[in-house]
Amino acid sequence: MKRLSIFVSGNGTNLQRIAEYFANKPNVEIVNVVCNNPKAYSIERAKNLGIPLRMITRQEFNSPEFTEEMASLKLDLIVLAGFLWKIPVNLIQAYPKKIVNIHPALLPKYGGKGFYGEHVHEAVVAAKETHSGITIHYVNEIYDNGEIILQAHVALDEKETPDSLAAKIHQLEQAYFPVAIEQVLFRR
C-alpha cells in the first residue's frame, strides 16, 4: 500500500482529480490533506471526499514537530497540489525525492517566488510565448528548481488571454498529474 499526503492552499481541483483517480486503486491511500488557508475550498473538498484534514499555521509548518508528525504517517509521497508556501529544508531532507509539485508553466521559464496561478499565465501571454504547459517536478530547497518528472505542452493562440491559457493548463493538470503521481509511486 502506497501512502500519500496532499498539500493544498486553494480551490482543490487537483486534489479532487487525484482523489477520484486513486479511488478505485486499492494499492494507494490518501492519508490526509494538509491545508494552510482557512478560506480554501479545498477544505470542503477534503471533507466531501472523506479524507482527514490537517490545518496548519506557518509556525507549525516550519517546526521540526510537523516533520516528525508527517514521518509518523509513513508516507511514500507528498504531493503539492496548489500549495503556495515554500517547503522547509527539514521536510525536504526527511523526504528526498518524495515531494512532488505541479507548476503551470514549462520550467525553467516562469518559475520561482511569486510565479503561481494567474501570475504565470499573465507573464506567459505578455511575453508572447507560442507554447506553455505544465511541469511536474521533485521539490528541492529552491522554488521550482527540482528535477523534472514530466512536462506537457500546449500551443498558445494569437488571441490568447491569461484566462484562456489557464483553462488549457487546467486540462493538462487534470490529465497528467494523477498519472505522474502513480508513476512516481510505483517507480520505487
* Residue range of the domain that includes 70: 2-187
pLDDT at 188 over 60: no
Which amino acid, one-letter code, is at 47?
Answer: K
Please tell me the chain's helix, strand, coil percentages from 3-state DSSP, rounded to the nearest 5. Answer: 40, 25, 40
| pLDDT above 90: percentage of residues in the chain | 94
Do 115 and 186 meet the contact criterion of CB atoms below 8 Å apart? no
pLDDT band at 23 (very low <50, low <70, confident <90, very high): very high
Residue range 138-167, pLDDT digits in tens: 999 998 999 999 999 999 999 999 999 999
pLDDT, mean of residues 15-42: 97
pLDDT, mean of residues 43-72: 97
CATH number of 29's domain = 3.40.50.170
Q: What is the pLDDT of residue 34?
A: 98
Pairing of strands 77-80, 2-8: parallel
pLDDT, mean of residues 168-183: 97
All three cell numbers of 4: 500519500
Residue range 73-110, pLDDT digits in tens: 999 999 999 999 999 999 999 999 999 999 999 999 99
Q: How many domains does the chain have?
A: 1
Q: What is the pLDDT of residue 80?
A: 98
Q: What is the pLDDT of residue 108?
A: 95
Q: What is the pLDDT of residue 171?
A: 97
Count of alpha carbons within 13 angstroms of residue 182, beta-carbon side: 17
Average pLDDT, the chain: 96
Active site residues: 103
